[in-house]
A = this chain, B = another copy of it.
């Protein structure tokens, strides 16, 4: 179980394809995982996801812990059974949400974080974004919650330091993340012995935008016994160059034979750049969120359906697109639905964007296997960035 088999490695760059085995089937990498924050990929049914050939979805531990609670989901037979999804699921650790949601909601300041989040060596105290109730999460508790949820891939509890923290604080947070990673691993091993279902725990590399911290963190996390490595704390507002620099710094210290998961990245350009640099797995709310705002991707970049030009446009969102939306509906009708805030519009736009990205991943895998990835990447990005195209 959880065997990662590399099926092809590029000659002139770090792009590779692979297969990662889970109790709910194999994932083909490079893979994009649509985000189902509250155990639903917003607007889509599980049937829609299958029609889109979605291989794996992500759910958020933080949100499900707060409501309806992991015990409810466990009592229903775990996430897979509860939501009726028999393919792989990944749950994040809740670390990112504990820190970012607390910040977003503007809770009382404390010395370190401008939030009510209180961190000590054992864990984090925070307030629920729903009702302000206090909770204390430890690495051990986070692993227990994820075992109750029962996803195929679960994540270690990490501390995401705010972007404006000092280098010394980033070091402190990284060191704590490393200690927590070990605690997560121990707890995970203990729990595995007591349960019938198998789960894979991935570690998370931190270190902000500091090359030496990233290197140190990559080495530490990679040396633990995780079957996969994730890179956290990127795509949080830094420049693209900086993000790619951190990936270039990190990847060489992560084993080739473990899948590499870049958390929170999901635009076509970023995915292409990162695959070239050795990343295998991605997740992001971007394609689904932008859809609900009426934005859609084409080979010529991003457009918004609200534009006047689409009012009487009988064409599909993208020519030759094979998604359900493009096969059945025209831009004029989609524009109307989005203007009227009709739920069908939100779903149809989401279907298109998720299809666009999953289809790109299929194309990327095929190009890697044919050793033409680099050229494909350059051509795709050039076209994608073209300005003032009439679509």
Contacts and interface: CB of A to CB of B under 8 A. Distances in A.
Nearest to A328: B84
Contact of A340 (B67, B75, B312, B347): B67
A348 to B, nearest CB: 7
Given A76-B312, A312-B75, A312-B76, A45 B344 contact: yes
Contacts of A72: 311-312, 332
B47 A328 contact: yes
Contact of A76 (B324, B330, B346, B347): B330
Contacts of A67: 336, 339-340
A38 B334 CA distance: 12
Given A67-B339, A342-B38, A343-B42, A329 B75 contact: no
* Most interface-central of A44, A68, A72, A314 (chain B CB within 10 A): A68
A9 interface: no
A83 interface: yes
Interface residues of A, number: 39
Contacts of A103: none
A43 interface: yes
A213 interface: no
A40 interface: yes
A71 to B, nearest CB: 9
Contacts of A346: 343
A343 B349 CA distance: 13
B332 A42 contact: no
B45 A347 contact: yes
A336 B72 CA distance: 10
A337 interface: yes
A169 interface: no
Nearest to A43: B343
A265 to B, nearest CB: 24
A348 B45 contact: yes
A38 B343 CA distance: 11
A336 B47 contact: no
A336 B84 CA distance: 14
A53 B312 CA distance: 30
A42 B342 contact: yes
Nearest to A350: B343
A220 interface: no
Nearest to A324: B47
Contacts of A76: 312, 314, 330, 332-333
Nearest to A348: B45
A44 B311 contact: no
Nearest to A76: B332
Contacts of A342: 38, 40, 42
Given A72-B312, A75-B312, A76-B314, A82 B343 contact: no
A352 B140 CA distance: 41
A299 interface: no
Interface of A: 38-40, 42-47, 67-68, 72, 75-77, 82-84, 311-312, 314, 324, 328-330, 332-333, 335-337, 339-340, 342-348
Given A42-B342, A47-B328, A83-B333, 4 more contacts: A72-B332, A76-B312, A76-B333, A82-B332
A-B pairs, top 6 by smallest CB distance, nearest first, are: A43-B343, A40-B344, A38-B340, A40-B342, A84-B328, A68-B336
